Amino acid sequence: MMEASEVHEEVKEKKKIHFAVPSTEPTQLDPRQVEMIRRRRPTPATLFRVADQPCPEDDYSTGQGHEAIKIVEQILTQEENWKFEKNNDVGDCVYTLEIPYHGKTFILKGLLQCPAELVYQEVILQPEKMVQWNRTISACQILQRVDDNTSVSYDVSSGAAGGVVSPRDFVNVRRVERKRDCYVSAGISTVHSSKPPHHRYVRDEDEDEEEDKVINLPLLLSRTNQQLNVGDDDDDDNGDEGDEEGDINGQDN
């Protein structure tokens, strides 16, 4: 017959828990587990492939920029259809032209006593400085640089006439290109997630048409030092920005 002390020892023996001591040698993983980890966690090469894929929003902005440039070219090829409105003593002339889907467009043509390269560097490439020389603009910033020639900007115009004219804001796609002897800079209204409409401002955009409204389409001629500003009837001064295409900075005037 088993004594009580022996029974107690047997019960304690059954309650013992055995812990496995980890080996100092690296554990060999099952190849299937390795494959699962690889699929679950992208490699740097995979990340680069994902980053290189164009964003649909960027493609849309680039397309808008090209569209604005094409409209500039159409305006220039129709100079014989420009309707003269007025001029001043120094030779600046204002014309108008009806553009399908964009309405009545005002064109200012004048001569600047400086190289076009200077205007390109000071005005086109530095739109943030526009508040320093354009009293109608209270803010200007670059929201996104899509590529070397295309960017998305945000401008705010000051109110006028003691509050009769409300402050307005603009979200534009801007593009600049080199066209033979010209610097061509164009802007067209767009939307951007970082700048939704704000109750303090009237968003300048075409709500009646499905097509986007061209806000500002200036042309800078490097050979003749002539500036041609093109804008719709809802905007007077709106800066444009972009980067050079080809060897734009190395051109002589």
Task: Please write the tens of the pLDDT for every residue from 60-117.
Answer: 888 888 888 888 888 888 999 999 999 999 989 999 999 887 788 889 998 888 888 8
Task: State the pLDDT at residue 35.
Answer: 56
Task: Please write the tens of the pLDDT for every residue from 209-252.
Answer: 444 444 444 444 444 444 444 444 444 444 444 334 433 333 44
- Cα dihedral sign for 119, 122, 127, 129? negative
Question: In 3D, which of 119, 184, 177, 122 has the Cα closest to residue 147?
Answer: 177
* Structure token digits, residue 96: 């108008």
Local confidence band at 41 (pLDDT 50, 70, 90 cut-offs): very low
Say if domain 56-250 classifies as CATH 3.90.1150.10.
Answer: no
Task: Please write the tens of the pLDDT for every residue from 43-56.
Answer: 444 333 344 445 66
| pTM for the full predicted model | 0.57
